[in-house]
Homo-oligomer: A and B are copies of this chain.
Amino acid sequence: MTSFTSLAQAGEFGLIERIKRQARQGDNLLLGIGDDCSATHVAEGKVLLTSKDLLIEEIHFRRCWTDMYSLGRKSAAVNLSDIAAMGGTPLHLYLGVGLPADLSLTEIDNFSRGFLDESDQAGACLCGGDTCRSPDKLIISVTVQGSVSATEMLSRKTAQEGEALFVSGTLGDSALALALLQRGENPSDFLSQRHHRPTPRLALGQALAQHGIASSMIDVSDGLLSDLGHILKQSGLGAHIDQQQIPLSNEVRHHLQGHPDDEELILQGGEDYELLFSAPSRYSDDLEALSHRLNVPITRIGTLLNAEQGLTIVQFDGEEKQVEARGFNHFRL
């Protein structure tokens, strides 16, 4: 690699060349980094999936709380998670970065290494993007493309009354890590990993789609209530959730014993990037087998009702409560 020591020396096109050399070439890639557009093939009979996410310093992350390699991995992972939530296979990633002057070339290299490692692991390749200066904050903009068979694709609007609601992994880990950081405390390694290095549940998402098990799916990025709310609203349904059933890590369970006020982190805390999906309860055995095969916990947390019944939660104290589906709102005062 050319040994520039600063971004000013490397220049915009030097930086793009640097990243390009690290990126692997995809099979269906006609033109990758370095033209006005990338040019790719989408396999016949497949649907093209596209999602994009902005990550802005001070809003989505703080540089003092994360290393740049993890930030690179997370920037790719949160986008890949959207492909997982459709049951799709990731193909291409596009990375736009607005770089503040105080960011060193080493930091940028670490970031792009993390981004590319996460992409490689998911079988996706970096096909283009945009690099520019930013006045002060680091700005990361990622677009992901994937594909899925039209008949297998899982949206938010196809859940059915009477089906069961399931969630993968554990909830609240990422939100607890963030809450601790905000309070000036140090989260455990486990919680830190869950916050800074989320795992997109790609294999699970694909299996649920391909075996026709799930009827609707979403990834838990804004919080359980908010993301469940999207399924309920778009499918025209209500739901009944048992808080006792929500899968918690030992760390979260232990923390809640000492801090019962943090209970809302489970229902409203975002960024776990687990999959929340609906499925007929007759698939319980298949789901158990899938959980073992993929080594990902899958837990039934409730049942889908009709819209008039709204969303009710059986709380830890056994009391039933009617709630509003809401989670993180970027514009709340």
Known A-B contacts A34-B234, A86-B35; the reply to A96 vs B52 at CB < 8 A is yes
A146 adjacent to chain B (CB < 8 Å): yes
Q: Mark A43-57, 1 if CB is under 8 A from B, else 0.
A: 010011111111011
Contacts of A82 in B (CB 8 A): 36-37
Contacts of A42 in B (CB 8 A): 42, 48
Contact A50 B36 (CB under 8 A): no
> Could you say how many copies of this chain the assembly holds?
2
Which residues on the B side are within 8 Å of A60 (C-beta)? 132
B59 touches A38 (CB 8 A): no
The answer on a CB contact under 8 Å between B54 and A48 is no
Name the B residues within 8 Å of A34 (CB-CB). Answer: 156, 230, 234
Query: A132: which of B54, B98, B155 is its contact (CB, 8 Å)?
Result: B54
Q: How far apart sit A128 and B10, CA to CA, in the bound complex (Å)?
A: 34
**A218–B36 touching, CB < 8 Å:** yes
Q: Give the docked Cα–Cα distance between A254 and B146 (Å).
A: 51
Judge whether B48 and A39 touch: CB under 8 Å: yes
Complex CA–CA separation, A148 to B40 (angstroms) = 10
| Interchain CB contact under 8 A, B12 and A330 | yes
Cβ-neighbour of A143 out of B86, B135, B143 (below 8 A): B143
Q: A31-B155, A39-B49, A56-B98 are in contact. List 5 more A-B contacts (CB 8 A).
A: A11-B331, A12-B331, A41-B48, A135-B137, A139-B139
